């Protein structure tokens, strides 16, 4: 019996206890084999994993799992065999660390805006250090999705249950929640200090591109903040509109980026879909009431946007 899901530490022990209680004579091994798949890239991640983690308490279960992964041998993915609880905790620790990297660079971005630095160049400067690495150092509106929010909270709860609070992760959770609302305030500031009676166009609703997942997406908090400020919100997402509709009220939906921007006082890039990386900026400006662009993913450079007549606000750029 193999658990692939991200589950609380000790779940494998409980599964084995239930099986033994139901059938003491059962010849069964219980293993933990947490998956490290990204939404939108799951097949590639499965075929070419960075590592394979197997948590088992007996050699037979570990051998069976090695045989399961034998077809991937040519890809030379390292197989790490540990105890079940270690494997279960490894998954939580990995996601919490990545969430921490995201939150760290987001706070550095805030500092960059105040001191006149560029967060993308800071991220490159530290990311080229092999001890740090360049992944998950892209400043933005905060993390969302099905994994990082629930896994950081679950790790915090586990640590509290065992009287070993993980204060760094607790802070990451708090800072990330606050950041999403702070992005709404950034839009309000770019709009001149008030969005009451204004139309704000949002490009991107899903928590990241190449998925329709709206779970804990930053757009939800941003839209709530803008609506609280009296804005009319129009939104477009290449894949996420069907998932977004039940979660949002009072939002109008557009068929493409240009119809979304038509008549808008502010245009906000929330999700970095590829379709938004090559927008016709002069056309957008001609459609809008006011050429104000808030780029929460730093898809465009300030110079590029300003060349086409936009008042540009990015993340971590002075």
Residues involved in catalysis: 147
Asked whether residue 101 is marked as a ligand-binding residue, the answer is no
Cα-Cα-Cα-Cα dihedral sign, residues 119, 120, 123, 129 = negative
Backbone angles phi, psi at 128, to 5 degrees: -75, -10
Asked whether residue 276 is marked as a ligand-binding residue, the answer is no
| Cα–Cα separations (whole angstroms), residue 294 to 45, 106, 237, 276, 313 | 33, 16, 16, 13, 5
Asked whether residue 306 is marked as a ligand-binding residue, the answer is no
Asked whether residue 250 is marked as a ligand-binding residue, the answer is no
3-state secondary structure at position 169: helix
Cα-Cα-Cα-Cα dihedral sign, residues 134, 138, 139, 141 = negative
Take residue 127 and report the two structure tokens written for it. 């990311």
Asked whether residue 39 is marked as a ligand-binding residue, the answer is yes
Asked whether residue 97 is marked as a ligand-binding residue, the answer is no
Asked whether residue 138 is marked as a ligand-binding residue, the answer is yes
Asked whether residue 38 is marked as a ligand-binding residue, the answer is yes
Query: How many CB atoms are closer than 10 A to CB 80?
Result: 12
Asked whether residue 148 is marked as a ligand-binding residue, the answer is no
Closest to 191 in 3D by CA, of 267, 253, 254:
267
Asked whether residue 150 is marked as a ligand-binding residue, the answer is yes
Asked whether residue 91 is marked as a ligand-binding residue, the answer is yes
Rg (CA), the chain: 23
Whether 54 and 21 have beta carbons less than 8 Å apart is answered as no
Residue positions forming the annotated binding site: 6, 36-39, 91, 136-140, 144, 150, 208, 215
Which residues participate in the annotated binding site for substrate?
36-39, 91, 136-140, 144, 208
Binding residues for NAD(+): 6, 39, 150, 215
């Amino acid at each position: 019996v193999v658990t692939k899901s991200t589950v609380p530490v000790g779940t494998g022990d409980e599964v084995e206890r239930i099986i033994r209680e139901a059938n003491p004579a059962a010849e069964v091994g219980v293993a933990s084999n947490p998956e490290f798949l990204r939404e939108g890239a799951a097949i590639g991640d499965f075929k070419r994993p960075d590592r394979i983690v197997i948590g088992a308490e007996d050699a037979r279960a570990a051998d069976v799992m090695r045989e399961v992964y034998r077809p991937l041998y040519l890809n030379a993915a390292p197989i790490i065999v540990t105890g079940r609880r270690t494997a279960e905790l490894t998954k939580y620790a990995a996601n919490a660390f990545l969430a921490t990297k995201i939150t760290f660079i987001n706070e550095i971005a805030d500092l960059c805006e105040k001191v006149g630095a560029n967060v993308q160049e800071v991220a490159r400067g530290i990311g080229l250090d092999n001890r740090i690495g360049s992944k998950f150092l892209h400043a933005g509106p905060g993390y969302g999705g099905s994994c990082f929010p629930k896994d950081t909270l679950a790790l915090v709860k586990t640590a509290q249950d065992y009287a070993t609070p993980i204060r760094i992760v607790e802070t990451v959770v708090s800072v990330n929640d606050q950041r999403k609302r702070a992005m709404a305030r950034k839009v309000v500031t770019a709009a001149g200090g008030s969005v009451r009676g204004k139309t704000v166009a949002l490009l991107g609703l899903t928590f990241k591109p190449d998925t329709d997942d709206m779970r804990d997406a930053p757009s939800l908090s941003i839209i709530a903040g803008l609506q609280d400020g009296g804005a009319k919100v129009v939104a477009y997402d290449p894949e996420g509109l069907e998932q977004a509709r039940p979660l949002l009220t009072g939002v109008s939906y557009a068929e493409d980026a240009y119809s979304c921007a038509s008549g808008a006082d502010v245009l906000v890039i929330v999700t970095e879909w590829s379709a938004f990386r090559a927008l016709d900026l002069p056309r957008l400006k001609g459609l809008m009431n006011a050429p104000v662009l808030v780029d929460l993913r730093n898809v465009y450079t300030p110079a590029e946007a300003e060349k086409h007549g936009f008042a540009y606000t990015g993340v971590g750029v002075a």
